[in-house]
Amino acid sequence: MSKAIGIMDSGVGGLTVAKEVSHQLPNETIYYLGDTARCPYGPRPVEEVRQYTWEMAEFLYRQDIKMLIIACNTATAVALEEIKTAFDIPVIGVISPGARSAIKYTKNDTIGILGTVGTIKSKAYEDALKDLRPTTVTYPLACPKFVPLVESGEYNSSMAKKIVAETLYSLKQTNIDTLILGCTHYPLLQPLIEQYLGSGVKVISSGDETAREVSAILAYRDELNSRHEKMKNKYYTTGSPVIFGQVAREWMNDQHMTIQQIKLP
């Protein structure tokens, strides 16, 4: 079925999921929307996040997509269930896939969770982990300084290294053996996070498991593209296409990507 998969996030973070989807499903077309002009969502009130998430979802739905991925944990925690109920296409988020992945890896049932203020407050990961294994011990930590570093393209800088170390200091004193990157922006900081925490902690991002879920759903519905049905990916941002493009081209390894600026709603 030659329709595209819609992927949305508050900014460039969802590209970490888009990259996994295009790796695991190379015949699929992706329409990506980053609401960069209103990023970050993490510190915003729930009602505002809900409204913005709906506006993004409706924009992509109007592009005639066959499936929607809410590739933003903050938006998933607030609006996944209601959008899923309202739309007549499959809609998935990134929290259940991340939690499933962490449960697979942990040996001592002690898991750290990094996320935005909104995601950590929602306790969505703790609930998902406890549903899967009630004895899991969790260490949630909000990291409000991480998203601005990623959006500005500074995720490799010495400043980033310092902020990662300061933010994760308390977590390093715990006995977690697995850490969930519960924000889709954080995988861009993954090398620094792994370096700081050392090899005793398995760092998990939800992209891989989310892409697996997409594959299973489309296969079940008999809606996977054939080799000839791939179209050109489209990238939309509500912010500056120049700044979005700097991170997006490097991360997606696509120098010819076209980026269109749009207005929401």
The residues carrying an active-site annotation are: 72, 183
Binding of residue 33 to ligand DGL (CB under 6 A): no
Does 98 bind ligand DGL (CB under 6 A)? Our answer is: no
Q: Rule CB under 6 A: which of 73-92 touch ligand DGL?
A: 73-74
Q: Of the two residues 3 and 208, which places its CB atom closer to ligand DGL in the complex?
A: 208
- Measured CA to CA, the distance from residue 96 to residue 245 in angstroms comes to 29
Q: Is 39 in the site for ligand DGL (CB under 6 A)?
A: yes
CB of 40 to ligand DGL, least distance (A): 3
- Confirm if 94 and 7 have CB atoms less than 8 A apart: no
Query: Residue 134 corresponds to which tokens in the numbers above?
Result: 């009630």
Q: In the chain, at which residue ranges do the beta strands (DSSP E only) sit?
A: 5-9, 30-34, 67-70, 91-92, 110-115, 137-142, 178-181, 202-205, 234-237, 259-261
Which positions from 115 through 154 interact with ligand DGL, judged by CB under 6 A? 116, 119, 147
Which of 35-43, 135-143, 168-176, 252-260 is the region at the interface with ligand DGL (rule: CB under 6 A)? 35-43
When asked if residue 225 is in the footprint of ligand DGL (CB under 6 A), the reply is: no
Element holding 246 (H helix, E strand): helix 241-252
72 binds ligand DGL (CB under 6 A): yes
- Under a CB-based contact definition with an 8 Å cutoff, are residues 205 and 173 in contact? no
The residue (of 26 and 45) whose beta carbon lies closer to ligand DGL is 45
Q: How far is the CB of 252 from ligand DGL (least distance, A)?
A: 16
Cis peptide before 148 (omega within 30 of 0): no
Q: Give 6 or 42: the residue with its C-beta nearer to ligand DGL.
A: 42
Per the CB < 8 A criterion, the answer to whether 185 and 11 are in contact is yes
d(Cα 147, Cα 153) in Å, to the nearest integer? Answer: 10
Residue ranges that bind ligand DGL, judged by CB under 6 A: 9-11, 13, 39-42, 72-74, 116, 119, 147, 183-185
